[in-house]
Amino acid sequence: MPEEATVLDLPRGWSILQDVHHSGEKLAIYRRDWNPLGIGQCVSPWQLIERLDYLQLLFAEQPYFGRELRYFNQAPWWYRLEFPTPDGAKRATLRFDGVDYYAKVWLNETLLGEHEGYAEPFEFEVGHLLSRDTPNLLIVQVSSPWDERVVPGEEDLRCWQVLRGMLKGTYEHDDTFVQRDVNPIGIWRPVRLIVHQGLRSAEPPHVATAIAAEGARATVSVDWPVALDEGPRQAEFRLRVVAEADGRQVARASAPVRLEAGTTALRAAVDVEKPALWNTWDRGGAALYRADLEIVEGGTVRLARSVSFGIRDVAVRRTPDETTFLLNGRPIYLRGATYWPDLYISRSDRGRYERDVAAAVRAGINALRIHVHTENDEFYEVCDRLGVLVLQDFDLNWAFPTDEAFVRRAVAVFGAMVRRLRNHPAILAWICMNEASGEQPRRRGGEPHGCDVNVRPGRELAAEAHRLDPGRPIIKNSGYRDDPDSGDNHDYTGSLGGGHYTEIRGRKEKLVTEFGIDAPPAPERACLVPRIAERLKEVLPRTAELHDYQYHLIKFYIEQYRMQKYAPCSGYFQFMWIDFCPQSFYGVYDYWGCPKAEGIGGGLRAMEESNLPVGLFMEYGEGPIVLHAVNDLPDDLGPCEARWTVTAPDGAEIASGTAELRLGPDSHVRVCDLAFPVAQGARINVALTLAAADGRVLARNVYRDPFNPPPHPAGHPLRMDHEIGMRLWWAM
C-alpha cells in the first residue's frame, strides 16, 4: 500500500473583506497583527463566509444580472484563514483547485506567489513555513477586474469590442449572452494542505496511445514528472494497465529509476494486444482503461496515481473543400450542440452533467462543444464514459490585446488547460480562439468583418497544443471556414444574422460549429424570475410562436447539413443545448432543465426528429424535390423501404408512396425524386418512415406545413434589454 499523504481540507472558517481603496498591500493586510478596526474608515472588518464559492453566489440576491453586481469587481477581495499544522508535518503542498481570476497568496506573512486563471489548479510547497506553535495564517488577494480599453473606433460597441484583458470567457459579453455586469470572482473550488514525505507528483501523469497493426495492438506511453525534496534515491517505477469494464490486467511493466532532488521525468510504455478502442456511443461505445502507476522503495509503495484513459486515434482531414474529423481512422459525422450548463461553473456537478449529457444522447447528439470556457473535471469524465466527443474551446473570444506580454500570458494559461484535460479520450480537438479579431474591428451586420485569421496568439496557441498534445487536432480560430488551420463556419441566417432560415438552402458547408436561435422559457418558468417575466409580459403570451420558430429553424438547418453528408458537410453544432442563466435563451432546454415545448415543440423536438443516427429527410422548396436517407451508424442496414404519407390538416390522405433502397454503413442515399400536388398556400403535413427488411422501423420524420415557413419573429435579433441582458423580440 502507498504511504498515503495526509490531506487537510480547508473549506470553512474563511473571512473576507473588499479592498475598496486598493490599499491592502500598502497596509500589509497579510500581517498577523493587522487590525482593520484600528485604521479608520478606509477598510472594512473581516466578514465570515459560510463556504468557498463565487462571491456573487454568496452575496448577490440575483447573481445573473443587475447593476449592483458591478461592485464585486471594482476592487480586490482579501481572504483570511487560520488553520493548524497537522502533527508531524514537515513537508506539505498548499493546493488551490480554482481561484477566479488573479490570486496572490501569503502564508504566515511570506508571499508564496501569484497565479492567473480561473479553472486550473495551482500549488505551493509550504512545509518550511508551517507554524508549530500557533495557527497558520493564510491570506489570499483575489481580483477579477473590469476591462477599460475598447477597440479604437468601436466605442459604440463596448461590450462586443472591449479588449478582454483576462483569459476567461465567462464575463461581460453582449448580445444577451453574459450580461454586462457579470464577472465571476472568488475562491470557488477547494483549498487543501497535503502533507507528504518529500516525494510528490510535480504534474498529473500524461497517458498517450498509438494504435498499430491495423488495430491489433496499441502502445500506451506514460510520462509522469515527480518531485523529490532530497535525493538521489533508487526506486522502482511500475505501470499496470487495467481494462475498466472487467478489471482485467492487460499489460504491465516495471523498471529501476533514479530519483534526483528536484524533478525527475518518469517514462514507461507497454503494448496492449487486441485493444478495445474508445468510440462514440453510436460507433461501438466507450471502452476505457486505467493506468495504475507506483513508485516503490524497499517493497513499500511511496507514491501512486491512477489515470483513466481510452485507446483511440483522432485526426482531421482539412482542405479548401472539406473539414472532416476522423476517429480511429474513419470519418465521423458530428451531430452536436454547444454546452454551458451554468454561467457559475461551481453550480454544476456530476449529477447535472449526467442528466444533461444523457438527454443529449437520447436526442442523437454524439459531440458537445464547450464554448469559451472549461467545465469541471466531472463533465469530461461523464463524456468519456458515455462516448460523447468534446470540442474544447479556450477562453479567447472576440477582441483582446495582441502584444507580446499578452501572448505569453495566453500561452501559459492555455497550456495549463491542455495539461489538465489531455488525458480525456472524449476531447476531439482544441479550439484556440473563437471569432477572434484581436484589436481589429470585428463585426458589421452580424458577420465577422475585417479580421486577419492569423491574429495573435492563434499560431502560438496552436504550437503549444501540438507541443503538449501532439496527437490531437486543433481549430485555430473558430468561425473561419477558409483558414487552413480552422475550416469551420458559424451561420446565424434567420437568427442573429437576420433574414430567414430558408436562405441557407443550397449552401455548401464543410463543418458548422455554431447555428441556432433564441426562444424564451415557458411562461410558468419565466415567472420564477419576476423581473424577467415583467419585462417579457408582451412576449410570454406568444411563447408558442417563438418555440415553433426555434423548432422549424433547427430542423431545417440540421436536415440541410445531413443531406450534404461528407459532400462536403461533416457535421454541425447547434447553439446551445441548455440556457446557462435564466435570461439567456439560446438553449433547447431552459435554465431549469425543461424543454421549450410550447406549440408544436421547440428545438428538442427538432432534434428528436432530425438528429438521430438514422434519418429520412425530404428536400423541398415550394414543393417536394428529393427523398434522402442517412445512416451515421457503422452497421450495414441492408435493404430498406422508405414510405411517405401526405395529409391535410384534418387527416385526410392526399398522397402516399414507397421506395426501395439499400443503406450501407455511414452512408447517405438519394432515395428518389419526390412529387405530390401542393396547392399554393395549402397547409399539408408529410410523414416519413424508414423500415428495415424485417419490418423494424429505423427512422420516422414529420413535416408540419413545410411549404409555408413561419416568418422571422419581429424585433429579433436587435431588440434587447441590456440592463437584464435579455432578448425582447417585439416587446417595448
Whole-number percent of the chain with pLDDT over 70: 96
DSSP classification of residue 382: H
Give pLDDT, residue 679: 86
Give pLDDT, residue 445: 40
For the cut 60, the answer to whether the pLDDT of residue 446 exceeds it is no
User: What integer is the mean pLDDT of 43-60?
Assistant: 95
Query: What kind and span of H or E run contains 351?
Result: helix 350-362
Greatest Cα pair distance in the chain: 91
User: What integer is the mean pLDDT of 424-452?
Assistant: 76
Residue 608 burial (10 A CB sphere; 0-12, 13-18, 19+): middle
Among the listed residues 12, 347, 353, 11, the one whose alpha carbon sits nearest the alpha carbon of residue 184? 347
Tens digits of residue pLDDT in 501-552: 999 999 999 999 999 999 999 999 999 999 999 999 999 999 999 999 999 9
Residue 447: pLDDT band with limits 50, 70, 90: very low
User: What integer is the mean pLDDT of 296-312?
Assistant: 96
CA distance 155 to 316: 39
Tens digits of residue pLDDT in 198-216: 999 999 999 999 999 899 9
User: What integer is the mean pLDDT of 316-331?
Assistant: 97
Return the residue matching grid coordinates 500581517: 31
Domains of the chain with bracketed CATH: 6-196 (2.60.120.260), 199-309 (2.60.40.10), 315-609 (3.20.20.80), 616-704 (2.60.40.10)
For the cut 70, the answer to whether the pLDDT of residue 296 exceeds it is yes
Among the listed residues 549, 670, 556, 544, the one whose alpha carbon sits nearest the alpha carbon of residue 607? 556
Give pLDDT, residue 101: 96
Residue 157: pLDDT band with limits 50, 70, 90: low
514 three-state secondary structure: strand
Contact partners, residue 685, CB within 8 Å, separation at least 6: 646, 647, 648, 649, 702, 703, 704, 705
